Amino acid sequence: MINTPNFAGWRAIILAEEDSNIDRLRRQLMLLGVTATLQWLPLSIDDLPDLVVVDADRGWDELLPWPDGKPARPVVALLGSEAPGRIAWAIGCGASALIPKPVSVSTIYPALVLAVASHLQRSEADARVARLEERLRLRPVVFAAINRLKSERQIDDEEAYRLLRERAMDRRMPLEQLAALFVGGSNALKDVG
Amino acid sequence: MQDVTKIGILYSTTGPYGAMGRDGWAGAEFALHDWVAAGGTGIELEFVDAHANLSDYLVGARSLIRDRGCRNIVGTITSSARKEVIPLVEKHDGLLWYMCPYEGFEANENVIYLGGCPNQHLIPLLDHLVPRHGNRPYLLGANYVWGWEMNRLARELITKAGGQILGERYLPLEETAVERIIADIAEKRPSFILNNLIGPSSYAFLAALRRLGERDPAFLPENCPVASCDLTECELLDIEPGAAVGQLCALPYFDSLDHPGNRAFKARIQAWRPEFTHISSIFAGAYAAVTLCMNAIAVCGSDDPILLRRTLVSRAWPSVLGDIVIDKATHHSSLPFHLGRITADAGFDVIASRPAIAADPYLTGDRSRQAPFLRVVS
């Protein structure tokens, strides 16, 4: 780990009710520089904190404003129960780290680091999947562009693909985008080739 | 003067599950009475009433352990209260004796579980109901881990067996507005209803469903029974007269169990306090827990939890619940399964039974744990 994880100046919302576990959690968060507020009402999508801690023993479905397993912020679950239904609920709200009850202060910092790192990994993976899905979606367009190049210029598959890729690099745009322009009737290839 | 060993008793005699707490309290008192009557000495009980307040359970358990010298505590009804007390008992290396049915997924070294987990109540209950009534139940539960987890498991079991859950609804413990649930049930017409509601909401539901059954016989208990794993004799008098008659409950003990041990047990209770006419599984469970604790202390000559644990798992202990065998790995007791049908005089007719089932709190399906020392070793 190159950078020491630091939560100073972060804002956290704890979705739970006041008790001795929450007291210990708040004290430790304060020590880590995190400003924590407590509420036992659904989280508003318009005012998201940097981090969410949620009581997974008692939480209900509308408590978090995002769809199942798609957290918009790192989520840490507070959990005393071993019931699979409660663990599943924590997974559903996007929790990627756990603070067991009764809260032992030594579990809090590692849980925050883990939740934030997992959230980052998840966001990066989601973005990569989205990019790949977009490219997959545009495959037929690339295929159509290659076919048109082949018949217009009497070249083979490989040559058509090479042409398309080189022009895309010249113009600093994804191959799929250039193919879409070409198929859409633009002179995208002519003016340079 | 002989040293006195103290056992803590921790229940709530008020609140939505106060009737159960009062029965637990009385069962513990009777266990000591019975012990002394049989010549036992050297044991005292220390009672704490937690008034259905979670933080009072913690304060009460702390006082029992630190100030009153109890290394063994019998008590708590709800899972949240049990979870509240366990860390303290662990810290002081005490033992908590828990004797209520619960949703499983726990096995703590510092707890002796005498109340049963789903493979001892819910699974045999569904085994009984599905072939007789069908595989399209409706699930109800208290808005709390007991209801959530029991219904989650029921959904898993029913769905895997090719059935279908027609509805699933939750109510807070004290919520009695059940009209929308009744309307939904009337429309969906389930095969049976699994009721994991607790206290007043459960009573209100049973009364409202009875009225639905009067309008449409398809919803009478013989056609669409309501079954639960936690409704005992001590609550039946709180339900509108007649409203629950014919409905079902799975428990390890019923007042009406007809065997010499139970007849003698009830006769001794009658001689002690004649007003105890309907003995619940809570009373019997607290009695069995305190009696087992006292017997184990007598055998060990100490209330040291390490010695008690070793002694407890080493043999079978005769009790009012049958022979108690405590598994070395899970600390759960084997328990018989009885299915009771509620009668007009606030009792149960036992309509099905199975001999003691070993507990499988994590539903691993491991059968090798069954009563190891009862196996024939050659």
Q: List phi, psi (to 5°) of B221.
A: -55, -35
What pLDDT is stored for residue A189 in this prediction?
66
Q: Do A83 and B54 touch (CB under 8 A)?
A: no
Q: How far apart are CA A93 and CA A54, in angstroms?
A: 9
Is A63 in the B-facing interface, judged by CB distances under 8 Å? no
Contacts of B54 in chain A (CB under 8 A): 19
Tens digit of pLDDT for each residue in A120-173?
999 999 999 999 998 899 899 999 999 999 998 999 999 999 999 999 999 999
What are the DSSP calls for B218-278, one per residue? GGSTTTS-EEESS--HHHHTTS-TTTTTT-EEEES--TT--SHHHHHHHHHHHHH-TT--S
Determine, for residues B145 and A84 on separate chains, whether the beta-carbon distance falls below 8 Å. Answer: no
User: What number of C-beta contacts closer than 8 Å exist between A and B?
Assistant: 35
Q: Which two tokens stand for residue B118?
A: 């789903």
- Contact assignment for B149 to A83 by CB distance below 8 Å: yes
- Are the CB atoms for A8 and A32 separated by under 8 Å? yes
Q: Is there a contact between B304 and B336 (Cβ–Cβ < 8 Å)?
A: no
pLDDT value at position B2? 53
B347 against B373, higher pLDDT: B347
Which of A19, A82, A85 is opposite residue B148, by nearest beta carbon?
A85
B-contacting residues in A 83-102 (Cβ below 8 Å): 83-86, 88, 101-102
Residues A171, A180: contact at Cβ < 8 Å?
no
How much is the average pLDDT of B211-224?
97
Nearest chain B CA: its distance from A70 CA (Å) = 22
Q: What is the mean pLDDT of chain B?
A: 93
Please check the confidence at residue A190 and state whether its pLDDT lies above 90: no
Provide the pLDDT for residue A85: 95
Segment 111-130 of chain A within 8 Å of chain B by CB: none
Instruction: Please give the order of strands across the beta sheet that includes A51-55.
Output: A35-39, A11-15, A51-55, A75-79, A95-100
User: With an 8 Å Cβ cutoff, are B83 and A82 in contact?
Assistant: no
User: Which is more confidently placed, B182 or A180?
Assistant: B182
Instruction: Pick B145's closest partner by Cβ from A83, A88, A102.
Output: A83
pLDDT at B32: 98
Q: Is B186 helix (H, G, I), strand (E, B) or coil?
A: helix
Chain A residues within 8 A of B82 when measuring between CB atoms:
none
Tell how far CA B355 is from the center of its chain. Answer: 17
The predicted pLDDT at position B370 comes to 45
Between the alpha carbon of residue B240 and those of residues B210, B211, B276, the distances in Å are 10, 11, 20
Residue B366: band (very low, low, confident or very high) from pLDDT cuts 50, 70, 90: low
Chain A residues within 8 A of B83 when measuring between CB atoms: 80-81, 101
Specify the pLDDT at position A135: 87
B87, B105, B145 ranked by CB distance to A102: nearest: B87
Task: Give the residue, B274 or B174, on which the prediction is more confident.
Answer: B274
What is the predicted pLDDT for the residue at B371? 40
Pick from B55, B58, B145: CB nearest A86: B145
Radius of gyration of chain B (CA): 20
For the segment B218-223, the average pLDDT, to the nearest whole number, is 97
Which among B54, B106, B149 has the least Cβ separation from residue A85?
B149
The two structure tokens encoding residue B276:
């105890």
Which residues from chain B sit within 8 angstroms of residue A19, using beta carbons? 54-55
User: Order of strands across the sheet with B70-75?
Assistant: B43-49, B5-11, B70-75, B95-98, B111-113
At B340 the pLDDT is 98
Stated length of chain A: 193
Q: What are phi and psi of A138, to 5 degrees?
A: -90, 0
Per-residue confidence (pLDDT) for residue B278, from 0 to 100? 93
Closest chain A residue by Cα to residue B91: A102
Provide the 3-class DSSP secondary structure of residue B307: helix
Q: Are B300 and B313 in contact (CB under 8 A)?
A: no
pLDDT in tens, A162-184: 999 999 999 999 888 899 888 88
Does residue B273 register a pLDDT over 60?
A: yes
Helices (H), B47-178: 54-62, 79-91, 122-133, 145-160
Say what the pLDDT of residue B365 is. Answer: 84
Contact check, Cβ <8 Å, B149/A19: no
Chain A, nearest residue to B107 by Cα = A82
Q: What is the reported pLDDT for A188?
A: 64
Domains contained in chain B, CATH given:
5-115+257-336 (3.40.50.2300), 122-255+337-374 (3.40.50.2300)
* B375 pLDDT higher than 90: no
Give the Cα separation of B275 and B352 in Å (integer): 28
Q: Which residue of B has its CA nearest to A57?
A: B145
Q: Which residues pair with B350 in a beta bridge?
A: B340
Phi-psi label, residue B371: left if phi above 0, alpha if psi -120 to 50, beta otherwise: left
Distance CA B251, CA B269 (A): 20
Mean pLDDT of B357-370: 78
Task: Note the pLDDT of residue B363.
Answer: 93
Enumerate the residues of chain A whose CB falls inside 8 A of the CB of residue B79. Answer: 81
Out of B143, B145, B152, name the one closest to residue A57 (CB). B145
CA angle A12, A27, B89 (to 5 degrees): 115
Residue B122 CA to residue B101 CA, distance in Å, equals: 10
Q: Residue B149's closest CA among B113, B108, B202, B104? A: B104
For residue B376, pLDDT over 50 is answered with: no
pLDDT of residue A90: 97
The per-residue pLDDT for range A23-70, each reduced to its tens digit, is 999 999 999 999 999 999 999 999 999 999 999 999 998 999 999 889
The CA–CA distances, whole Å, from B218 to A73, A132, B119, B138, B222 equal 50, 55, 30, 14, 8
What is the arithmetic mean of pLDDT over B325-337?
A: 96
Q: pLDDT class for A192, splitting at 50, 70, 90?
A: very low
* Number of other residues whose CB lies within 10 A of the CB of residue B162: 8
Q: Which of B78, B113, B122, B152 to mutate to test the interface with A (most CBs of A within 10 A)?
A: B152
Per the CB < 8 A criterion, the answer to whether B258 and B356 are in contact is no
Residue B188's pLDDT is what?
98
Mean pLDDT of B176-195: 97
Nearest-CA distance from B3 to chain A in Å? 35
Say whether the ipTM exceeds 0.90.
no
The answer to whether residue A193 scores a pLDDT higher than 50 is: no
Q: How confident is the model at residue B261 (pLDDT cuts 50, 70, 90)?
A: very high
Mean pLDDT along residues B266-285: 96
CA–CA distance, A12 with A49 (Å, rounded to integer): 5
Task: Give residue B1's pLDDT.
Answer: 40
Tens-place pLDDT, residues B26-80: 999 999 999 999 999 999 999 999 999 999 999 999 999 999 999 999 999 999 9
Determine what percent of chain B is predicted with pLDDT higher than 90: 91
